[in-house]
Amino acid sequence: MFIAGKVQGVYFRQNTRIVANRHKVTGWVQNLRDGRVEAVLEGNEMDVSEVIEWFYAGPPKAIVDDVQIKYEVYIGEFQGFKVNY
């Protein structure tokens, strides 16, 4: 998924990892050169939905303009949640 707005330089990735870990969601998050944040999430539907819901607000200094979601089949690819740099 892609999150657009003022989402870089506001600890969005670090807070995403905290929220994902709280909900036992695995995957990764990274900044993109175009200013958006990209995230891949895996977990049960309710837990992933909680993280997605958080994306619409983000951390306190973020201003989220858009969240684009693409669902795929869960395959258990990830062991934890990491921030890509």
Query: Annotated catalytic sites, by residue?
Result: 13, 31
- Integer CA distances (angstroms), 62 to 15, 44, 74, in order: 11, 26, 29
Cβ–Cβ < 8 Å for 17, 28: no
